[in-house]
């Protein structure tokens, strides 16, 4: 399969027919025999860190158990994916953190009371936005989403598509 910049590609089929395995292998979470190239260069995806470094993020199917820390705040959930970028010598640089979070929240239009609100109190769609905001900025060139609208109510889907 060949995917160009800006394209959105869907992979369909009955549940359990290999879609999840494809996305997990693209994220380096499971081994595969396939080859991935980005910008003409072969990328070795032996583990998720390699995928993130290559610009690939995985948005999991089950956001509550795989994508978010439900008892933590919106701020903490967004920050955790970018700790390497917002830390200096192992300590979180609060100015960098505020800038990152403000950008993510405004770009994704996260509906919340404040940044200290527990992510569990958000709607499914806003939880999904927090996951996207929490993806390491280096991993924002390619998003692999497994069942991206799972748990997002129909009214929200209808409003977001026009």
Residue 78 falls within a domain, yes or no? yes
Specify the pLDDT at position 111. Answer: 94
- The predicted model gives 142-152 an average pLDDT of 71
Residue 4 falls within a domain, yes or no? no
How far is it, in rounded angstroms, from Cα 26 to Cα 7?
Answer: 17
Residue 68 falls within a domain, yes or no? yes
Contact (CB, 8 A) for 66 and 60: yes
Q: What percent of the chain has pLDDT over 70?
A: 87
Residue 120 falls within a domain, yes or no? yes
The total of structural domains in the chain comes to 1
Three-class SS of the chain? CCCCCCCCCCCCCCCCCCHHHHHHHHCCCCCCCCCEEECCEEECCCCHHHHHHHCEEEECCCHHHHHCCCCCEHHHHHHHCCHHHHEECCEECHHHHHHHHHHHHHHHCCCCCCCCCEHHHCCHHHHHHHHHHHCCHHHCCEEEECCCCCCCCHHHHHHHCC
How far is it, in rounded angstroms, from Cα 96 to Cα 133?
Answer: 14
Whether the pLDDT of residue 122 is over 90: the answer is yes
Specify the pLDDT at position 156. Answer: 52
Model pLDDT for residues 42-98, shown as the tens digit of each residue: 888 888 888 888 888 888 888 888 889 999 999 999 999 888 889 999 899 999 999
Which domain covers residue 46, as residue numbers? 19-149
Whether the pLDDT of residue 160 is over 60: the answer is no
pLDDT confidence tier of residue 10, bands split at 50, 70 and 90: confident
pLDDT confidence tier of residue 40, bands split at 50, 70 and 90: confident
Whether the pLDDT of residue 104 is over 80: the answer is yes
CA atoms within 13 A on the CB side of 64: 8
Contact (CB, 8 A) for 13 and 22: no
Six-digit token pair at 100?
């990152």
Residue 54 falls within a domain, yes or no? yes
Residue 140 falls within a domain, yes or no? yes
Residue 136 falls within a domain, yes or no? yes
Specify the pLDDT at position 88. Answer: 93
Contact (CB, 8 A) for 52 and 85: no
Whether the pLDDT of residue 143 is over 80: the answer is no
Residue 67 falls within a domain, yes or no? yes
Q: Residue 56 belongs to a domain with what CATH number? A: 3.40.50.300
Q: In terms of pTM, does the model score above 0.85? A: no
Mean per-residue pLDDT of the chain: 84
């Amino acid at each position: 399969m060949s995917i160009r910049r800006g394209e959105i590609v869907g992979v369909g089929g009955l549940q359990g027919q290999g879609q999840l395995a494809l996305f997990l292998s693209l994220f380096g979470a499971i081994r595969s025999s396939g080859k991935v190239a980005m910008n003409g260069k072969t990328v070795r995806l032996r583990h998720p860190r390699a995928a993130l470094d290559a610009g690939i993020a995985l948005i999991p199917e089950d956001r509550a158990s795989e994508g978010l820390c439900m008892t933590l705040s919106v701020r903490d959930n967004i920050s955790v994916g970018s700790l390497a970028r917002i830390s200096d010598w192992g300590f979180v640089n609060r100015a960098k953190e505020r800038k990152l979070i403000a950008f993510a929240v405004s770009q994704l239009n996260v509906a919340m009371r404040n940044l200290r609100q527990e992510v569990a109190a958000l709607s499914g769609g806003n939880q999904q936005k927090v996951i996207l905001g929490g993806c390491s900025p280096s991993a924002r060139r390619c998003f692999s989403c497994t069942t991206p609208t799972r748990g997002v109510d129909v009214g929200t889907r209808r409003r977001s598509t026009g």
